[in-house]
């Protein structure tokens, strides 16, 4: 078994590092402080073919394997976790369902501009009363002639304020429970779809999040994604894919915390020597590096299984829960290593600690990941 990256994968990593260093590093602090969407960086990513990495060239993508895609999300997140998540959400949650469940007409109409980065995608499933319990959603879709009429409110919709294309979930038959949920593709120019309240978050602040309000939103029958009643399956499949990206994001955040901690501990002198000479600091750094390596192997293995067309739901959940929890733990240690300076606004480790927490929450909380893992083991 070879754990080394291929020459092509090493080149991909070098290329994304160069792009991130040139365009994202210089603005990472500013876009966090202002909660500004980094449109100029997204344009550069689109121009380089990074917005549709795992999709075939004939659909506007780059035709990369999922291991390479996850590795790129790690590298982007190492600079700015908000931008890493913007790309991950667009790629796995919005574009993924269309590629995996859409028909040829839908792929040509919606996936091609998404994969090329000409359009930005969003995924609208969460509601004020329905988070982990997706089946508690109340948004409805009623067939009226050749269109479905959708009514409801979605919340915490990542990329919502900047999206051109939305994958939206609603009940076509609530009496069937989860089997009555369906998925739809909706364009931002649909008059029945409005962007509601914008949310200003503790971390990943440059990632745009909002409510989506559907009021008598007429969606042509041909924009039903998959079949009626297939919505829950589509949502769960999308989360499986997305969790690999979130694990990679968490690894990128923690790798940045390790980089900062090593650099600072070598420079900070107390009691006549660099604090890196202190065993307490050395152990923090050793534990951080060990957990990063373990988390990286976990997400890479889940991505490998996906590339091999083998089941990967359990492995994706394992990667996410481990990577997310170790990221929250170790970014806090990075702040501890930096002492008072780590607690100052504008310091990278302060931002990293805020960014890390969300990886334990979105695309399924850590508790939900354990449910997925146990469900796979005990069935």
Domain boundaries, the chain: 7-115, 121-232, 233-378
Q: How many residues does the chain have?
A: 379
pTM (2 d.p.): 0.96
CA-derived radius of gyration, the chain: 21
d(CA 282, CA 218): 60
Is 363 designated active site?
yes
Q: Which CATH number fits domain 121-232: 3.30.1330.30, 2.40.110.10, 2.60.40.10, 3.40.630.30?
A: 2.40.110.10
Q: How is domain 233-378 classified at the architecture level of CATH?
A: Up-down Bundle (1.20)
Name the region of 259 (left: φ>0; alpha: ψ -120 to 50; beta: rest). Answer: alpha
| Residue whose C-alpha is closest to residue 217's, from 184, 175, 182 | 184
Beta strands in 3-159 (DSSP E): 121-124, 140-144, 147-158
Q: Is the dihedral of CA 47, 52, 56, 58 positive or negative?
A: negative
| Model confidence at 20: pLDDT above 70 | yes
Q: Which of 75, 350, 360, 363 is catalytic?
A: 363
Beta-carbon-side half-sphere exposure of residue 40 (alpha carbons within 13 Å):
10
- Sequence-ordered alpha helix ranges (H) in 66-197: 66-79, 81-88, 96-101, 104-106, 112-115
Does residue 309 sit in helix, strand or coil? coil
Average pLDDT over residues 249-272: 98
pLDDT at position 132 is 84
d(CA 275, CA 291): 22
Average pLDDT over residues 296-324: 98
Confidence of residue 45 (pLDDT cuts 50, 70, 90): very high
For residues 310-322, b (16+ Cβ closer than 10 Å) or e, as one string? eebbbbbbbbbbb
pLDDT at position 226 is 97
CA distance to 161, 166, 223, 346, per residue, from 120 (Å): 10, 9, 17, 29
Confidence of residue 134 (pLDDT cuts 50, 70, 90): confident
The pLDDT tens digits of the residues spanning 210-230 come to 999 999 999 999 999 999 999
Show Cβ contacts of residue 64 under 8 Å, excluding neighbours closer than 6 positions.
12, 53, 54
The pLDDT tens digits of the residues spanning 81-120 come to 999 999 999 999 999 999 999 999 999 999 999 999 999 9
- Pairing status of strand 273-274 against strand 140-144: unpaired
Q: Are both 121-232 and 233-378 of the same fold? A: no
pLDDT at position 1 is 63
Tokens 């979105």, residue? 362
Query: CATH for 7-115?
Result: 1.10.540.10
| CB contact at 8 A, 165 and 187 | yes
CA distance to 242, 299, 314, per residue, from 377 (Å): 21, 19, 8
């Amino acid at each position: 078994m070879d754990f080394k990256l291929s020459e092509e994968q090493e080149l991909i990593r070098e290329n994304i590092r160069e792009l991130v260093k040139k365009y994202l590093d210089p603005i990472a602090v500013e876009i966090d402080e202002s909660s500004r969407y980094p449109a100029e960086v997204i344009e550069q990513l689109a121009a380089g073919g990074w917005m549709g990495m795992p999709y075939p060239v004939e659909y506007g993508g780059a035709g990369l394997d999922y291991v390479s895609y996850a590795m790129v999300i790690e590298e982007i997140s190492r600079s700015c976790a908000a931008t890493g998540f913007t790309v991950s959400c667009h790629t796995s949650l919005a574009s993924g369902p269309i590629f995996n469940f859409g028909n040829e007409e839908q792929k040509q109409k919606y996936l091609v501009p998404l994969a090329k980065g000409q359009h930005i995608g969003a995924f609208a499933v969460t509601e004020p009363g329905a988070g982990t319990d997706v089946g508690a959603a109340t948004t409805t879709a009623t067939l009226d002639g050749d269109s479905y009429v959708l009514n409801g409110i979605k919340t915490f919709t990542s990329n919502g304020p900047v999206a051109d294309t939305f994958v939206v979930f609603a009940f076509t038959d609530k009496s069937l429970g989860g089997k009555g949920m369906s998925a739809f593709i909706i364009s931002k120019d649909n008059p029945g779809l409005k962007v509601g309240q914008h949310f200003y978050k503790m971390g990943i602040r440059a990632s745009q999040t909002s409510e989506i309000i559907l009021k008598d939103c007429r969606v042509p029958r041909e924009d039903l994604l998959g079949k009626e009643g297939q919505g829950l399956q589509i949502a769960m499949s999308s989360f499986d894919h997305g969790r690999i990206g979130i694990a990679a994001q968490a690894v990128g955040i923690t790798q940045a915390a390790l980089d900062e901690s090593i650099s600072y501990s070598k420079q900070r002198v107390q009691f006549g020597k660099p604090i890196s000479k202190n065993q307490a600091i050395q152990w923090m750094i050793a534990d951080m590096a060990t957990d990063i390596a373990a988390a990286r192997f976990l997400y890479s293995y889940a991505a490998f299984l996906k590339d091999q067309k083998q089941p990967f739901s359990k492995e994706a959940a394992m990667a996410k829960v481990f990577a997310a929890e170790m990221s929250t733990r170790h970014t806090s240690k990075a702040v501890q290593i930096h002492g008072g300076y780590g607690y100052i606004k504008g310091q990278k480790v302060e931002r990293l600690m805020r960014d890390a927490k969300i990886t334990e929450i979105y695309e399924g909380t850590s508790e939900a990941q354990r449910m997925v893992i146990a469900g796979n083991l005990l069935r």
